[in-house]
């Protein structure tokens, strides 16, 4: 598809377009974390604060969504509100995108779809909370998030706090290795487990600073290797949760999902909501703080990448 055809479907916020054109740092943000990952109104406060954190580092935030079939790169107030109220807001991954566009529906972008929109708009760095991956039992159910294929093919570096233990983290990392996705730790040897700083699995490379992450991304894309990168940034110590306690909570949430017969794309939002409930809201505080921490790191990486 030619660029002109593509732009027919896309609205890029002027400040984002100006920054991209001038080679200034921009950070993509997703909207599934708003519509299907956090309750209202906490998600609204989060949506504003996370953009402010990106700006404080000298980068421009671009929250992605699909509104009435339009691909949005950067949201206005009303659009942020719409994502947070989440009425008739679908969860849109790669396969859903053409349907939502053609039918002029409204949807929140997953990690996969945020990467697609970022790449279309020329944005290389993206901050999220946690990525999707190989679900537990995925070797039988084949429930493997489209996020992993997107990381394989789309040239965007994703800063996350690892993956939740609702997933099979070992198989998720094996899949990423097979698909040639570099998995970096930001000043850590351990791949983080979202609420907890360590998953028990290592990273390919401990990149000590945002500048080193930017240098690795620059080398990957300059070499024509294409595809994405994953950067694991552990939750700050003061917000980290106890590994044993969270393991038990997640086992309970998985059992609830099993009892309710929840499958496919509904499983991740179901588990996220039940984990918040089972921890009496503690997990939400941690979720918000780790996402802030990722936005800050992503903005610092974007600033360094803009220098190369």
Site residues for ligand PSU per CB under 6 A: 30, 32-33, 37, 93, 110-111, 129-130, 132, 145-147, 164, 194, 265, 268, 272
Q: Please give the Cα distance from 122 to 308 (Å, whole number).
A: 15
Kindly state the smallest distance separating residue 14's Cβ from ligand PSU, in Å.
26
Kindly state the smallest distance separating residue 308's Cβ from ligand PSU, in Å.
28
Residue ranges that bind Mn ion, judged by CB under 5 A: 143
Contact between 129 and 262 under an 8 Å Cβ cutoff? The reply is no
Nearer of residues 19 and 275 to ligand PSU, judged by Cβ: 275
Q: Which of 13, 72, 91, 164 is catalytic?
A: 164
Half-sphere exposure of 248 (CA within 13 A, CB side): 6
Contact between 148 and 133 under an 8 Å Cβ cutoff? The reply is yes
Interior/surface letters 154-176, b for 16+ CB within 10 angstroms, e for the rest: bbbbbbbbbbbbbbbbebbbebb
Helix, strand, coil percent content, the chain, rounded in steps of 5: 50, 15, 30
**Residue nearest Mn ion by beta-carbon distance:** 143
Kindly state the smallest distance separating residue 168's Cβ from ligand PSU, in Å.
12
Q: Please give the Cα distance from 298 to 53 (Å, whole number).
A: 10
Q: Cis peptide before 41, with omega less than 30 degrees from 0?
A: yes
Nearer of residues 125 and 272 to ligand PSU, judged by Cβ: 272
Q: Which does 240 bind (CB under 5 to 8 A by kind): Mn ion, ligand PSU, none?
A: none
Q: Which does 188 bind (CB under 5 to 8 A by kind): ligand PSU, Mn ion, none?
A: none
**42 is a catalytic site residue:** no
Q: Which does 272 bind (CB under 5 to 8 A by kind): ligand PSU, Mn ion, none?
A: ligand PSU
**164 is a catalytic site residue:** yes
Kindly state the smallest distance separating residue 7's Cβ from ligand PSU, in Å.
25
Kindly state the smallest distance separating residue 232's Cβ from ligand PSU, in Å.
13
Nearer of residues 145 and 199 to Mn ion, judged by Cβ: 145
Interior/surface letters 70-92, b for 16+ CB within 10 angstroms, e for the rest: ebbbbbeeebbebbbebeebbbb
Nearer of residues 270 and 306 to ligand PSU, judged by Cβ: 270
What is the SS3 assignment for 234? coil
Nearer of residues 253 and 301 to ligand PSU, judged by Cβ: 253
**Best CA proximity match to 29, nearest among 114, 95, 155, 139:** 114
Catalytic residues: 30, 164
């Amino acid at each position: 598809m030619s660029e002109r055809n593509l732009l027919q479907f896309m609205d890029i916020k002027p400040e984002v377009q100006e920054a991209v054109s001038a080679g200034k740092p921009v950070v993509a943000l997703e909207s599934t974390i708003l519509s299907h990952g956090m309750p209202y109104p906490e998600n609204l406060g989060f949506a504003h604060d996370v953009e402010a954190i990106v700006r404080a580092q000298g980068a421009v935030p671009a929250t992605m969504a699909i509104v009435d079939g339009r691909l949005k790169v950067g949201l206005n107030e009303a659009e942020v509100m719409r994502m947070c109220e989440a009425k008739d807001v679908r969860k849109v991954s790669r396969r859903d995108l053409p349907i939502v566009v053609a039918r002029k529906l409204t949807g929140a972008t997953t990690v996969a779809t945020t990467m697609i929109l970022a790449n279309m708009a020329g944005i290389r760095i993206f901050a999220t909370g946690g990525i999707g991956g190989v679900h537990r039992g995925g070797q039988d159910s084949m429930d493997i998030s489209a996020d992993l294929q997107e990381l394989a093919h789309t040239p965007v570096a994703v800063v996350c706090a690892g993956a939740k233990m609702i997933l099979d983290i070992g198989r998720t990392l094996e899949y990423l290795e097979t698909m040639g996705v570099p998995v970096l730790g930001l000043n850590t040897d351990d791949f983080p487990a979202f609420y907890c700083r360590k998953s028990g699995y290592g990273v390919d490379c401990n990149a000590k600073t945002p500048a080193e992450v930017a240098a690795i991304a620059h080398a990957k894309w300059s070499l024509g290797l294409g595809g994405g990168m994953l950067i694991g940034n552990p939750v700050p110590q003061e917000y980290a949760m106890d590994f044993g306690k969270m393991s038990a909570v997640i086992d309970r949430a998985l059992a609830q999902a099993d009892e309710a017969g929840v499958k496919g794309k509904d499983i991740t939002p179901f588990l996220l909501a039940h984990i918040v409930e089972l921890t009496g809201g503690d997990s939400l505080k941690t979720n918000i703080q780790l996402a802030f921490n990722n936005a800050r790191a992503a903005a610092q990486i974007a600033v360094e990448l803009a220098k190369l």
